[in-house]
Structure 1
Amino acid sequence: MNEITEVLPELLRDAISAVPEEARRDTEEIRIRVDRPVELIQKGQPLYLSYVCTAGDAQLILSRLSNYSMYTLEEELKKGYITIRGGHRVGLAGRVIVENGAVKGLRDITSFNIRIAREKLGIAEPLIPFLWKENWLNTLIIGPPQTGKTTLLRDLARLSSTGSKRIPAKKTGIVDERSEIAGCLRGIPQHSFGRRIDVLDACPKAEGLMMMIRSMSPDVIIVDEIGRMEDSQALLEALHAGVSVIVSAHGWDMKDLVKRPSLKMLWEENVFDRYVELSRRRGPGTISRMYGKDGEPVPHAESVMTC
């Protein structure tokens, strides 16, 4: 967590260091709000520190995030988050500046949500028998927030681009709209991937899918959190171009997603070969169910119920 603590005020660093090591290891988010106690999210539950963030602390954090040059964060402030070294993402909240109906940026930032990016190398390997059949099967990973969707996608991208004894390395493209999968810093992925990886960072998914296909001719495309009509249309274009897709979407389960009009065309075209539902039942990454193209449970998938 050195990449995170180096942007924090020294007294806050000390307060976090005083937390038992095991609890620090389980921390998923550090939530900092002006005039409120700092909150650590561990296994989905809050732990409040005695340290209360001041306005001066918030200004110092923002200065360190921008390397003391706020103009360099202009684009990030429009999006509401900053990616820092190590692939960690810092979400921001404060006063929104709107111009001509569009968000121009943020001012008076009073809340920071530091989402700790952790690699879990190898967690996707038990899924190979279920997601690979002479090629990667078109797969949709479903789960509510903090169920490990992005972590699983990241390791699937690593497996796809490195290959293994069981599968060859494939040209793999990541369309990383929110800089979460690859955690790029100035375009360079901060996580472990193979030699055959290409990343479009901070690029809208629909546009990025088409750009990746036209420019990099990938065998496989990895995309996080589809949800808009444009995403669905672009995915269909990718599939018609012969590219395998592995994507995620927010939802409690398949039944939840089927109700979303923006994804309707994907169900009508029956594009996915595998549906993987995640939960936190036994911690992030718990695979609760896996379905095939016909909507029937995949046989023997219970052998990898937790990744």
Structure 2
Amino acid sequence: MTQRRITDDLHVLMGVLPPRIAEAVQNANNSDQLLEIVMDLGRKPVARFTTGDLVLLEEEVTHEDLDFTVSRIGEFDADNRAGLERTLHRISAIRNRRGHIVGLTCRVGRAVYGTIDIIQDLIESGKSVLILGRPGIGKTTMLREAARILAEKKRVVIVDTSNEIGGDGDVPHPAVGAARRMQVPKPSLQHEVMIEAVENHNPEVIVIDEIGRELEAAAARTIAERGVQLIGTAHGRTLENLLLNPTLSDLVGGIEAVTLSDEEARRRGTQKTVLERRAPPTFDVLIEIQERDRLAIHPDVAAAVDALVRNNPLPPEIRYRDAEGNIHVEKPPAQPAARNGYGAMQAGFRRLMSEPAGGRASETAYSHREEMESEPRSMRTERLQPIRIYPYGVARNRLQQGAKRLGVPALIVRELAEADVLITLRAYYRSRQQTILEAEQRGMPIYVLRANTNTQIEQLLAELFNLSMQPEDGEDLEATIAQTQAAIQMVMNGERYVDLAPASAAIRRMQHEMARQYQLTSHSYGKEPNRRVRIYRE
């Protein structure tokens, strides 16, 4: 499949150049490969092509040459970029210490139809896609084409920081199709426009170029968490570059140092301090543009980061277009141990509640759920059926103590074959231990704890025995819900924060969930039995 290249009004760009320089560009007779024209005061003008640089004239650039171009283009914004009305061309300025322009970079803007077909399946999958690559390799061109294709079926909003995607002027360039474009008054306000786009214009897709600041990375995470697909570019060439960038590493989940116990470090054969992914990635898919027609694709960013921090990187999928325009896809070898650790961990954590595995206890523990929910907790625990638990990496004594405090019949077994469920820690689950794999093969529900603490263990046991959403004896659930709703309304009406009455862990979890539904922040304060929830705006 051949590309159809459309050069956007190159004669318009030539019209703002000094005539002798414009004539030299035309004499080079290679306009299809032209990237930029560089004019620096006191130096020879240079044309940059995809094949290399070419000195246009032996005469040096003068003040008059720079003034000629500046007088014929729009005003420079705060990022020292200007454009030409209804085109995709961009002129960037270099200034001296007094603010005078001493250099210009005139970038040729093109709309290239057909560039997105090599990744169109990923763009149309609904997943958020991040594109990396060196400057001038075609990230923005690909982004522009993605916006056009998606806008044929979805509501697309482009956050256009330097008018590079939709072109200069108030009317977006036809290359973006039906996508709507929001301009950014200052580059430092890009994150605010990103949030405004979601809150005011109900998009299904947000397209954003050059995510480069921490606030923009945070805004991207907020957008993704609201269920909006993101298609964006960022500074960097590879996934490794991005992970090492403290400003942008959150786009792929970030990394943090975790200290292991002596026993765990010996078991792994590693140092006590290891790196792990900090959070779910903002973007699901990452694309590295290696060359204009050659891409390296990480279809599961979470799995790629998990493997990378364990010094066992997953090979990317390679896609390239040959000289005839045909697309080739080279799949990496199968990696059975490489999977989305965080997503699978969460799925495992919920599996018992949604899909009982058919073991003795999992068939019976919930058979009288509706009947039990109407009884006091003391009566419910008496009627619960025993559940056999195999702890892998979790302290047995803490499990036994937690079961005793909750009054639930948890039986701690020493063999996996005897168990109804397996409980383990996040670190064990991510490293894909043989015991974990064996439990999955058996179809056994797996519960994953963030930490080996009494609180975590008791919360898990409460959920395992269906006690997690029940109030303590004496707690009025309806009154608590009404009070929480009233507090939420007060905060939304302008109160700085509202403290709720002390409540049990189950009630506090419900209050946190209600606050999240209204996009408010909540934290728990104090010690039991006086621990309470505070709701406030960020």
The 3-state SS of whatever aligns with 2:288 is strand
Measure, in 1, the Cα distance between the counterparts of 2:95 and 2:50.
Answer: 26
Residues 172-223 of structure 1 show CA distances to partners (whole Å, capped at 9, x for unaligned) of 01111121111131x211241222x111113432111111011111000011
Give the corresponding residue for 2:285.
274
C-alpha displacement of 1:92 = 0.3
So what's the TM-score if we normalise by structure 2?
0.48
Give the corresponding residue for 1:146.
136
Residues 299 and 9 of structure 1, relative CA distance in 2, 3 Å threshold: closer
Measure, in 1, the Cα distance between the counterparts of 2:88 and 2:124.
Answer: 28
- Of 35, 46, 63 in structure 2, the residue corresponding to residue 55 of structure 1 is 63
The 3-state SS of whatever aligns with 1:174 is strand
1:202 aligns with 2:184: yes
Give the corresponding residue for 2:442.
none
Give the corresponding residue for 1:103.
none
The 3-state SS of whatever aligns with 2:53 is strand
| One-letter amino acid matched to 1:269 | P
Matched residues, number? 274
Give the corresponding residue for 2:151.
161
Residues 127 and 78 of structure 1, relative CA distance in 2, 3 Å threshold: closer
C-alpha displacement of 1:226 = 0.9
Measure, in 2, the Cα distance between the counterparts of 1:304 and 1:263.
Answer: 31
Measure, in 2, the Cα distance between the counterparts of 1:38 and 1:215.
Answer: 45
**Percent identity over paired residues:** 23
Residues 242 and 61 of structure 1, relative CA distance in 2, 3 Å threshold: same
Give the corresponding residue for 1:130.
122
| One-letter amino acid matched to 2:207 | I
Measure, in 1, the Cα distance between the counterparts of 2:227 and 2:147.
Answer: 18
Contact 1:87 1:180 in 2 (8 A): yes
C-alpha displacement of 1:121 = 0.8
Contact 1:183 1:191 in 2 (8 A): no
Contact 1:288 1:305 in 2 (8 A): no
Contact 1:222 1:245 in 2 (8 A): yes
1:92 aligns with 2:99: no
Contact 2:294 2:318 in 1 (8 A): no
1:31 aligns with 2:45: no
Measure, in 2, the Cα distance between the counterparts of 1:77 and 1:127.
Answer: 33
Give the corresponding residue for 1:224.
209
| One-letter amino acid matched to 1:58 | L
For the pair shown, the structure with the greater C-alpha radius of gyration is 2
1:177 aligns with 2:181: no
| One-letter amino acid matched to 1:129 | D
Give the corresponding residue for 2:299.
291
Q: Which has the higher helix share?
A: 2
Measure, in 2, the Cα distance between the counterparts of 1:63 and 1:121.
Answer: 32
Give the corresponding residue for 1:45.
52
Contact 2:124 2:150 in 1 (8 A): no
Measure, in 1, the Cα distance between the counterparts of 2:233 and 2:108.
Answer: 19
Give the corresponding residue for 2:175.
192
The 3-state SS of whatever aligns with 1:41 is strand
Residues 14 and 263 of structure 1, relative CA distance in 2, 3 Å threshold: closer
Measure, in 1, the Cα distance between the counterparts of 2:329 and 2:236.
Answer: 18
The 3-state SS of whatever aligns with 2:198 is helix
Measure, in 2, the Cα distance between the counterparts of 1:240 and 1:288.
Answer: 26
Give the corresponding residue for 1:165.
none
C-alpha displacement of 1:36 = 1.4
1:2 aligns with 2:3: no
Measure, in 2, the Cα distance between the counterparts of 1:159 and 1:114.
Answer: 28
Residues 37 and 216 of structure 1, relative CA distance in 2, 3 Å threshold: same
Name the stretch that deviates more: 25-34 or 88-97.
Answer: 88-97
Coordinate RMSD, CA, aligned? 2.1
Residues 94 and 249 of structure 1, relative CA distance in 2, 3 Å threshold: same
Measure, in 1, the Cα distance between the counterparts of 2:154 and 2:298.
Answer: 24
Residues 85-108 of structure 1 show CA distances to partners (whole Å, capped at 9, x for unaligned) of 3121100012245xxxxxxxx32x
Measure, in 2, the Cα distance between the counterparts of 1:91 and 1:9.
Answer: 16
Give the corresponding residue for 2:82.
82
Measure, in 2, the Cα distance between the counterparts of 1:26 and 1:90.
Answer: 18
Contact 2:147 2:156 in 1 (8 A): yes
Measure, in 1, the Cα distance between the counterparts of 2:328 and 2:174.
Answer: 24
Measure, in 2, the Cα distance between the counterparts of 1:222 and 1:42.
Answer: 28
Runs (5+) with no aligned partner, structure 2: 1-9, 254-278, 305-313, 321-326, 331-538
Measure, in 1, the Cα distance between the counterparts of 2:60 and 2:32.
Answer: 22
Measure, in 2, the Cα distance between the counterparts of 1:271 and 1:227.
Answer: 14
Residues 40 and 301 of structure 1, relative CA distance in 2, 3 Å threshold: closer
The 3-state SS of whatever aligns with 1:199 is strand
Residues 132-174 of structure 1 show CA distances to partners (whole Å, capped at 9, x for unaligned) of 33xx211111112122111111110110112xxxxxx110011
Contact 1:218 1:243 in 2 (8 A): yes
Runs (5+) with no aligned partner, structure 1: 67-72, 98-105, 163-168
Measure, in 1, the Cα distance between the counterparts of 2:317 and 2:43.
Answer: 49
Contact 2:166 2:172 in 1 (8 A): yes
Contact 2:131 2:233 in 1 (8 A): yes
| One-letter amino acid matched to 2:155 | K
| One-letter amino acid matched to 2:283 | F
Residues 156 and 270 of structure 1, relative CA distance in 2, 3 Å threshold: same
Contact 2:250 2:282 in 1 (8 A): no
C-alpha displacement of 1:248 = 0.8
C-alpha displacement of 1:45 = 2.0
